[in-house]
Structure 1
Amino acid sequence: MVCDFFYPQPGGVESHIYQLATKLIDRGHKVIVITHAYKDRKGIRYLTNGVKVFHVPFFIIYRSSTFPTVFSFFPLFRNIIIRERIEIVHGHATMSTLCQEAILHGRTMGLRTVFTDHSLVGFADTGSILTNKLLKFTLSDVDHVICENTVLRAALDPLMVSVIPNAVVSEDFKPLPRPEPSSLPFIQHPLPAHPLGPNDILTIVVVSRLFYNKGTDLLTAAIPRILENHPNTRFIIAGSGPKAIDLQQMIEQNVLQDKVDMLGPVRHENVRDVMVQGHIYLHPSLTEAFGTVIVEAASCGLYVVCTAVGGIPEVLPSHMTIFAKPEENDLVAATGRAIAALRANKVRTEKFHEQVKAMYSWTDVAKRTERVYRGISGDITEEEFYGADVGNASHWSATRGRNLSLIDRLKRYYGCGVWAGKLFCLCVVIDYLIFVFCEWWWPKDRIDIARDWPRKPPPPSDEDEYS
């Protein structure tokens, strides 16, 4: 697994990689994670269940993403891959430089590659156009993609794409029994043991990185209006980012210090302690692929108000959510409807936890991801992997389980554009020459093989098939 975004930084991508890695290890696979150094966390670290993490020393330029070097990561990457005897490179996140470079280098080394997209990028603005062009280059030679709208953005063959949802560890996001005395540091306002009355304080929780794409500007504009319309309401906001100053200024200008609590950054293991203080979870994001945090909130027994963007409308059933357009007026109105429904006791939030537990499981995600690995490695037949569409499989199905020659790879990259295609071909040729030099300068037989973490025997093979 390769990504710039990983622990100790909290977030949905970080949690996804860790949980998927641990479940794959439980199923008998060897998994390592490559990410960049985080402050004093450098070199090799081991996490629970034997997840081995390589923190490589690269310069960070923006939102925990490293400076794109294209080629300088290759010698170190090759050394790690050979030492750990890796067969599949699984990159995560469009905005991760390490991910994009690892997929390129992995294909140069003849490895199977998989890419998982954790975000939704648009098509109209300059940044999105450049990002999509880069993604088209990176994914021209990838074996399989797990994503949402990446088929359009990177001009992919739909047959090489799988949609696999995220999940949550539901046991870590249990509702707080009422009443329950607690000494947890974040639980300052326990929920009442009885249904909400007209004068009871209703708490709205927001747990998010405070960036523009997370809808922080929308949240800043909506909070004063929500509190004005519903006086017996308060907000708890957890998270950090450049937009935090805007929220603080809004609180001071409207004198809302007793109505809005800003907790700052909160560790992932404390997120549940924040959520169980609330009745409603507000998610004003402007773009979102899945939104793991809204599943965590529903698991904690919160009624979810969220914007209908990206893949969010498909995450939770309608009785758990109220959707709003990513506009101030509609978000205020949707929050008002959620408050009215809770005060009228029309929503049975106490049943949400068990329902979420039945819907999302990391074991299921690991099984479906494992099936992708088996498919690209040629361990299962094309009929099993592609299903009824096997007859329409493109050149990706014809190359399953074997390595492409350099000329075949260049043909794929050349089709990325009149000028971009030539530039991409040049990058691939240089990457291949670096690989040849490393093979001569530092042969494989001179690289020590690392000892594996002791593993449990894999469980019996499942009969379930996932499409």
Structure 2
Amino acid sequence: MKILMLSWEYPPKVVGGLARAVADLSQALAALGHEVAVVTTDAPQCEQSAYQAGVRVFRVNQFLPKALDFLGEVYLQNCHLTQKGIELLNQGGFDLIHAHDWLVAPSAKVLKHAFQIPLVCTIHATEWGRNSGLHNDLQRHISDLEWWLTYESYRVICCSESMRAELRRIFQVPEDKLTVIPNGVRPETFASVHRDLDQWRRQWAAPEEEMVLYVGRHVFEKGVDLLLAAAPKVLAHRPQAKFIIAGDGPCHNDLKRQAWELGLGEKVLFTGYVDDLTRNSLYHLADAAVFPSRYEPFGLVALEAMAGGAPVIVSDVGGFAETVRHEVNGLTFYAGNANSLADCIIRLLNDKPLARRLVERAARELVEKFDWKQIAQRTVESYRQTLPQREAEVLYDRYQLTAEALRKGGSVHESRNHGGR
């Protein structure tokens, strides 16, 4: 099968979990013998066309001409994505288009109709879910584009049962159009760490301190403020705790201000963006990896922490509630409740045997449930379910054109020259 992927981000350009999910899926599909071409936006020091782990990656310039605002940038980006997509599709042979999220919806729609190729999409999150509703015109516009993409797609893939329910409720996507396929993780990606971890650890925490780690974007939906709000209670019971807050985002300065107002002082360290080697090392050293999201369609970051050997604590929302089971492969707390979060952190720091059991069970489940080869196979099966539908539509359209030609006194041969949809 020959697949054209559309994604606005792709490693090394990584803003959220979408980039890694698209890359891992594309590479897993290639490993199964399928031909995958990814059209995405540019990244520093990356060639416009390159092979990465068996995948052809094509990057387009998203900054010329310079847009006046965010939406202008999105639409100009889609112009470039469409142009490159046309170049590739003109070469022929592609079986379908797989689009990821609303930022590529316009180009996906144009390419689908222009080349009469089935469109599959993955919705990784929704604007409604990220903001607990739609509160301004920009959010409503983005939500409309998300709906548009689901409407135009032959099949809609989502990463959790929670996300399936959300798409049914918000966009009224038909049940038989939806497929739930989880994201996965490559444990080997997280095996590489700094050479002397004990020595390297000293720049982050004192030898006697216990590391409570957060890695991710600093946005409201990720709930980092809840972790800071839980810190005073944790420190009252475990004064040796040290909070490491990695990442960046729009809420970064507000979070630093909150930490100052709570008097956390040297007990919290904001690291800013960390590279993969630093991230892996922090996971290996963490006494607890905490992800207090208010909204999480899947929660790939929890799997990454598990792969890094960290015991995890997550909120009981969305995909987290499906991948992390309380006291089995992690701990869960009541979403939005800082007191509940503090209790989970205290328990994990107090009970080292429990932490070890959680890490061991999580490592087994990564192989059993979240292996990318299995996920790629399920994705291919979903693709194949769209192809008979496409063939049926082509036959139906040919029948309609034939009937119309006969009514006008033409021939069957003449009618077929008009092509399909």
**Partner SS state of residue 317, structure 1:** coil
**Partner SS state of residue 258, structure 1:** helix
Deviation at 1:277, TM superposition (A): 0.9
Is 2:348 the partner of 1:349? Answer: no
Is 2:10 the partner of 1:6? Answer: yes
Q: Matched residues in 2 for 1:268 and 1:175: separation?
A: 9
Aligned position for 2:201: 188
Superposed, which structure 2 residues align to 1:237-316 within 5 Å?
237-253=245-261, 256-316=264-324
Equivalent AA in structure 1 for residue 57 of structure 2: V
Within the candidate set 328, 342, 354, 1:332 is matched to 342
**Partner SS state of residue 294, structure 1:** helix
Within the candidate set 57, 72, 75, 1:68 is matched to 75
Q: Matched residues in 1 for 2:286 and 2:348: separation?
A: 13
TM-score (norm 1): 0.71
| CA shift in 2, pair 1:367/1:344, >3 Å | closer
Q: Is the 8 A contact 2:97 2:118 kept in 1?
A: yes
Q: Matched residues in 1 for 2:384 and 2:202: separation?
A: 49
| CA shift in 2, pair 1:337/1:166, >3 Å | same
| CA shift in 2, pair 1:137/1:286, >3 Å | same
**Partner SS state of residue 67, structure 1:** helix
More helix by share: 2
Q: Matched residues in 2 for 1:129 and 1:53: separation?
A: 32
| Deviation per residue, 1:154-182 (Å, 9 max, x gap) | 22111111100011112233599xxxx93
| CA shift in 2, pair 1:344/1:17, >3 Å | closer
| CA shift in 2, pair 1:72/1:301, >3 Å | closer
**Partner SS state of residue 171, structure 1:** helix
**Partner SS state of residue 210, structure 1:** coil
Deviation at 1:329, TM superposition (A): 3.0
The structure, 1 or 2, with the larger RCO (C-alpha pairs under 8 Å, 6+ apart) is: 1
Within the candidate set 214, 217, 222, 1:209 is matched to 217
Q: Matched residues in 2 for 1:344 and 1:310: separation?
A: 25
Q: Matched residues in 1 for 2:253 and 2:198: separation?
A: 24
Q: Matched residues in 2 for 1:187 and 1:172: separation?
A: 20
**Larger deviation, residues 334-343 vs 212-221:** 334-343
Is 2:118 the partner of 1:112? Answer: yes
**Partner SS state of residue 16, structure 1:** helix
| CA shift in 2, pair 1:173/1:186, >3 Å | farther
**Partner SS state of residue 152, structure 2:** coil
**Partner SS state of residue 46, structure 1:** strand
Aligned position for 2:143: 132
Q: Matched residues in 2 for 1:234 and 1:278: separation?
A: 10
Deviation at 1:252, TM superposition (A): 4.4
| CA shift in 2, pair 1:316/1:283, >3 Å | same
Within the candidate set 52, 57, 75, 2:56 is matched to 52
| Deviation per residue, 1:8-30 (Å, 9 max, x gap) | 12332111111111111111111
Aligned position for 1:387: none
| CA shift in 2, pair 1:190/1:369, >3 Å | farther
Aligned position for 1:413: none
Deviation at 1:404, TM superposition (A): 8.2
Aligned position for 2:373: 363
**Partner SS state of residue 266, structure 2:** coil
Aligned position for 1:223: 231
Q: Matched residues in 1 for 2:246 and 2:395: separation?
A: 47
Any unmatched runs of 5+ in structure 2?
401-421
Aligned position for 2:36: 31
Deviation at 1:403, TM superposition (A): 8.1
Q: Matched residues in 2 for 1:186 and 1:44: separation?
A: 41
**Larger deviation, residues 307-316 vs 58-67:** 58-67
Deviation at 1:347, TM superposition (A): 4.3
Deviation at 1:38, TM superposition (A): 2.5
- Sequence identity percentage: 23
Q: Is the 8 A contact 2:324 2:332 kept in 1?
A: no
**Partner SS state of residue 346, structure 2:** helix
Deviation at 1:257, TM superposition (A): 4.9
Q: Is the 8 A contact 1:235 1:259 kept in 2?
A: yes
Aligned position for 2:415: none
Q: Is the 8 A contact 1:169 1:362 kept in 2?
A: yes
Aligned position for 1:402: 394
**Partner SS state of residue 90, structure 2:** helix
Q: Matched residues in 2 for 1:43 and 1:16: separation?
A: 21
TM-score (norm 2): 0.78
| Deviation per residue, 1:192-221 (Å, 9 max, x gap) | xxxxxxx95322111111122222333343
Q: Is the 8 A contact 1:306 1:323 kept in 2?
A: yes
| CA shift in 2, pair 1:344/1:23, >3 Å | closer
Q: Matched residues in 1 for 2:375 and 2:381: separation?
A: 10
| CA shift in 2, pair 1:70/1:163, >3 Å | same
Aligned position for 1:88: 96
Q: Matched residues in 2 for 1:116 and 1:27: separation?
A: 20
Equivalent AA in structure 2 for residue 188 of structure 1: R
CA RMSD of aligned residues (A): 3.4
Aligned position for 1:141: 152
Q: Is the 8 A contact 2:183 2:370 kept in 1?
A: yes
| CA shift in 2, pair 1:208/1:186, >3 Å | farther
Q: Is the 8 A contact 1:205 1:236 kept in 2?
A: yes
Equivalent AA in structure 2 for residue 51 of structure 1: V
Q: Is the 8 A contact 1:187 1:277 kept in 2?
A: no
Q: Is the 8 A contact 2:105 2:145 kept in 1?
A: no
Q: Is the 8 A contact 1:5 1:65 kept in 2?
A: no
Deviation at 1:292, TM superposition (A): 0.9
| Deviation per residue, 1:300-333 (Å, 9 max, x gap) | 3322211122221001233122222223333223
Superposed, which structure 2 residues align to 1:417-456 within 5 Å?
none
Q: Is the 8 A contact 1:35 1:53 kept in 2?
A: yes
Equivalent AA in structure 2 for residue 247 of structure 1: L
